[in-house]
């Protein structure tokens, strides 16, 4: 459904992502792992349209989307979260999430000024969507709390909810469990499984190996921007290059 062909992103002289061929397992949980600075987030940024690739392509449903701006990519059903949640801390959880469905609405300035029927209907639609996804991620009780006052784990859930509010087919999650304790990590893993059960394709970046090995069905390993391995958790576990990259790969390079 979504694949990259020889995807490359260069920053000046630095090649952050190099000739990466990768395809997502439809409806499954996919994972990208790799040492710090391997180019994982950059890969996400290119796929989601935030960066233009230097060369190569991103193919979605048979179409090259690598030149589309991020908002168009989102419209096609590709959502994402960020490594650091970009939430608006001084607003409620609900207010943060309600704008997530905006891309599925048509109301313009005049609708807003004259409060047309369309605007009212669409605002209702956005509200319902927000409540629905907040329920899905288990935050029904925190709808009206300020984001500053909720825990790190809850913030991650809000970020999930925001991505889900866009009605995505694929969700890219950049280190969804960074800075979160093991118990909470397990709970977030469950949430990701629940998303996959809903038919959403997931692709996440993670450093927590144990969790990834249990959760993912397909893993890609990046090192210095290059794909060094790809396969099932079992295959990755026994891959020579991966072991090398993780145990002092930087010393040998």
Partner 1 sequence: MAAIFSKRNVVIGLIVLAALFPYVARNDYYLHVLTLAFIWMIAVYGLNLLAGFTGYLSLAHAGFFAIGAYALGLLTVKAEMGFWPAFLLAPVITTGIGFLVGIIALRTKEHFFAIYTLCVGYIIYLVIDKWEGLTGGVRGLIGIPAPADIGPISLSTPIAQYYFVLTILLLVILVIYRIIHSLTGKTFIAIRNSEDLALSLGISTIKNKLLSFVLSTFFAGVAGALYASFIRFIGPDIGNLNITFDLLVYMIVGGIGTLSGPIVGTLLIVWLSQNLQFLQDYRMLIFGPLLTLIVIFSPRGIVGFIAGWFTNWKLRRKVNINQAQEQAEEV
Ligand X SMILES: Nc1ncnc2c1ncn2[C@@H]1O[C@H](COP(=O)(O)OP(=O)(O)OP(=O)(O)O)[C@@H](O)[C@H]1O
CA atoms of 32 and 50, how far apart (whole Å)? 18
Q: Which stretch binds ligand X (CB under 6 A): 10-18, 163-171, 181-189, 226-234?
A: 10-18
CB of 17 to ligand X, least distance (A): 7
- Measured between alpha carbons, how far is residue 189 from residues 54, 202, 213 in Å? 34, 12, 11
- Measured between alpha carbons, how far is residue 109 from residues 75, 97, 119, 179, 234 in Å? 20, 21, 10, 40, 54
Residue partners of 1: CB distance under 8 A and separation at least 6: 23, 24, 26, 60, 61, 169, 170, 201
The listed partner (Mg ion, partner 1, ligand X, none) that binds 176, CB under 5 to 8 Å by sort, is: none
Buried b (16+ CB within 10 A) or exposed e, 214-231: ebbebbbbbbbbebbbbe
Q: Which residue has the tokens 């930087």?
A: 250
Beta bridge partners of 31: 204, 219
16 binds ligand X (CB under 6 A): yes
Binding to ligand X, residues 46-85 (CB under 6 A): 83
Q: Which stretch binds Mg ion (CB under 5 A): 8-16, 33-41, 64-72, 241-249?
A: 33-41
41 binds Mg ion (CB under 5 A): yes
Binding mask 146-165 for partner 1 (x = CB under 8 A): x---------------x--x
What angle (nearest 5°) sits at the alpha carbon of residue 225, between those of residues 246 and 43?
A: 115
The listed partner (ligand X, partner 1, Mg ion, none) that binds 48, CB under 5 to 8 Å by sort, is: partner 1
Q: Which stretch binds Mg ion (CB under 5 A): 83-91, 116-124, 129-137, 211-219?
A: 83-91
CB of 215 to partner 1, least distance (A): 23
Query: Measured from the CB atom, is 36 or 71 closer to ligand X?
Result: 36
| Count of CB atoms situated within 10 Å of the CB of 109 | 7
Binding to partner 1, residues 108-127 (CB under 8 A): 108-109, 111-113, 115, 119, 122-123, 126
Beta bridge partners of 29: 202
CB of 76 to ligand X, least distance (A): 23
For Mg ion, the binding residues (CB under 5 A) are 41, 83
Q: Which residues bind ligand X (CB under 6 A)?
A: 11, 14, 16, 34, 36-42, 83
């Amino acid at each position: 459904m979504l694949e990259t062909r020889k995807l490359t992103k260069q920053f000046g002289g630095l090649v952050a992502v190099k000739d990466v061929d990768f395809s997502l397992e439809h409806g499954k949980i996919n994972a990208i792992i790799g040492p710090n600075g391997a180019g994982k987030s950059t890969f996400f940024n290119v796929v989601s349209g935030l960066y233009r690739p230097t060369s190569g392509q991103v193919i979605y449903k048979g179409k090259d989307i690598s030149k589309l701006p991020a908002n168009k990519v989102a419209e096609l059903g590709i959502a994402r979260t960020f490594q650091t949640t970009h939430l608006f801390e001084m607003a409620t959880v609900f207010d943060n999430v309600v704008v997530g469905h905006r891309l599925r609405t048509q109301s313009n300035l005049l609708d807003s000024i004259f409060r047309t029927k369309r605007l009212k209907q669409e605002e209702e639609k956005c509200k319902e969507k927000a409540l629905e996804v907040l329920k899905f991620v288990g935050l029904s009780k925190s709808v009206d709390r300020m984001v500053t006052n909720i825990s790190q784990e809850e913030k991650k859930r809000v970020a999930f909810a925001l991505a889900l509010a866009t009605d995505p087919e694929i969700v890219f999650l950049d280190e969804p469990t960074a800075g979160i304790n093991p118990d909470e990590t397990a709970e977030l893993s469950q949430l990701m499984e629940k998303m996959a059960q809903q038919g959403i394709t997931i692709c996440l970046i993670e450093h927590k190996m144990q969790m990834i090995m249990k959760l993912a069905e397909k893993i890609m390993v990046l090192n210095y921007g290059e794909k060094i391995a790809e396969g099932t958790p079992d295959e990755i576990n026994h891959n020579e290059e991966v072991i090398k990259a993780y145990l002092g790969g930087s010393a040998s390079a």
